[in-house]
C-alpha cells in the first residue's frame, strides 16, 4: 500500500523538492502553501497522486480545517512534514517582522503539530517531521528570532518524542536540522558556506525520514558543525 505524505509549505525550495522526490518514490503526496499557482504547477508536473490546498499557517482555525480536508481527499495520512518557515528579511518594523517569524515558525507549527498528533493518536500510528535548523543550536546575532523559533520547535519535538516513549504511542517524530540549502530563503544572503543543492539535501532528508531518524542533519557534514557548536564555550559562540 502506498504511503501518504503531506508537506506543509510545498511551494518552493525544500518543500517543493520533497514533493517531487516523494512522488518519484511512489508516495501519494499532498502539498500546501499560500502561492496556489505554484501548487497548480506542481500538479501539472506530478499529475495524479498530488493533492493540494492553499493554506496560510498563521490562520490556525482555517489551517486545521484545510489540513483535515486534504487528509480526507487523500484517504488518510501516514507522514506530515511541517516545513513552512520564514527567516529574517529587511523590514521597516523590526518588531512586526519578529512577530511574523513567531507566528509562522512557532504558532503555525504548534497548531498543525497538534492536529497531526491528535490524528495519529486516533489512527494508532504516524510520523511527524519538523524542519528546524542548525540555527536552533545557538542564538544567531543576525537572526535572533529565527534561531529562537527553531530552538523552540526542536525542544517541542523532543518533548513530544519523550511523551510518545513514556505513553507507548507509535508516533515517530523526526527533527530535521538543515545547514544552508539553496532556496528562496537563502537567495542573495551573505556569509553562508557549505550551501547544499536543494535536491541533494532533500534526497538525504528523505532517506532519514524513511529510516525514521530522530534527528537528521542536512547535509550530513552539518553534524560536525552541530557537534562543534554544542562543545563551544560561550565566548566563542559570541564571536560566530
**Is 105 or 172 the residue whose CB approaches ligand NAP more closely?**
105
Q: Give CA–CA dist 63/112, Å, rounded.
A: 7
**Is 12 or 123 the residue whose CB approaches ligand NAP more closely?**
12
Q: How far is CA 30 from CA 45, 61, 105, 165, 180, in A?
A: 14, 19, 20, 28, 25
Q: Which residues bind ligand NAP (CB under 6 A)?
A: 9-15, 33-35, 55-58, 83-87, 104, 131, 133, 178, 180-181, 183-186
Question: Shortest distance, CB of residue 177 to ligand NAP, whole angstroms?
Answer: 7
Residue 8: phi and psi, rounded to 5, are -85, 110
Question: Shortest distance, CB of residue 211 to ligand NAP, whole angstroms?
Answer: 20
What is the Cα Rg of the chain in Å? Answer: 17
Question: Shortest distance, CB of residue 117 to ligand NAP, whole angstroms?
Answer: 19
**Is 52 or 119 the residue whose CB approaches ligand NAP more closely?**
52
Give strand pairing partners of 131. Answer: 176
Question: Shortest distance, CB of residue 163 to ligand NAP, whole angstroms?
Answer: 23
**Is 54 or 123 the residue whose CB approaches ligand NAP more closely?**
54
Residue 194: phi and psi, rounded to 5, are 50, 40
Amino acid at each position: 500500500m502506498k504511503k501518504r505524505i503531506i508537506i506543509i509549505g510545498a511551494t518552493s525550495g525544500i518543500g517543493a523538492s520533497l514533493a517531487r522526490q516523494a512522488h518519484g518514490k511512489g508516495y501519494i503526496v499532498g502539498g500546501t502553501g499560500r502561492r496556489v499557482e505554484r501548487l497548480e504547477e506542481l500538479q501539472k508536473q506530478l499529475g495524479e497522486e498530488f493533492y493540494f490546498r492553499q493554506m496560510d499557517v498563521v490562520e490556525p482555525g482555517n489551517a486545521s480545517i484545510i489540513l483535515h480536508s486534504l487528509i480526507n481527499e487523500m484517504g488518510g495520512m501516514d507522514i506530515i512534514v511541517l516545513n513552512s518557515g520564514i527567516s529574517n528579511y529587511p523590514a521597516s518594523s523590526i518588531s512586526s517582522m519578529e512577530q511574523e517569524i513567531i507566528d509562522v515558525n512557532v504558532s503555525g507549527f504548534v497548531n498543525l503539530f497538534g492536529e497531526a498528533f491528535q490524528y495519529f493518536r486516533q489512527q494508532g500510528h504516524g510520523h511527524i517531521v519538523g524542519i528546524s535548523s542548525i540555527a536552533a543550536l545557538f542564538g544567531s546575532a543576525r537572526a535572533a528570532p529565527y534561531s529562537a523559533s527553531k530552538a523552540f520547535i526542536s525542544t517541542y519535538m523532543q518533548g513530544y518524542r519523550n511523551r510518545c516513549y513514556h505513553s507507548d504511542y507509535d508516533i515517530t517524530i523526526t527533527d530535521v536540522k538543515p545547514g544552508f540549502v539553496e532556496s528562496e530563503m537563502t537567495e542573495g544572503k551573505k556569509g553562508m558556506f557549505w550551501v547544499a543543492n536543494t535536491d541533494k539535501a532533500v534526497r538525504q532528508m528523505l532517506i532519514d525520514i524513511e529510516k525514521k531518524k530522530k534527528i537528521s542533519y542536512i547535509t550530513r557534514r552539518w553534524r560536525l558543525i552541530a557537534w562543534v557548536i554544542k562543545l563551544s564555550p560561550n565566548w566563542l559562540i559570541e564571536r560566530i
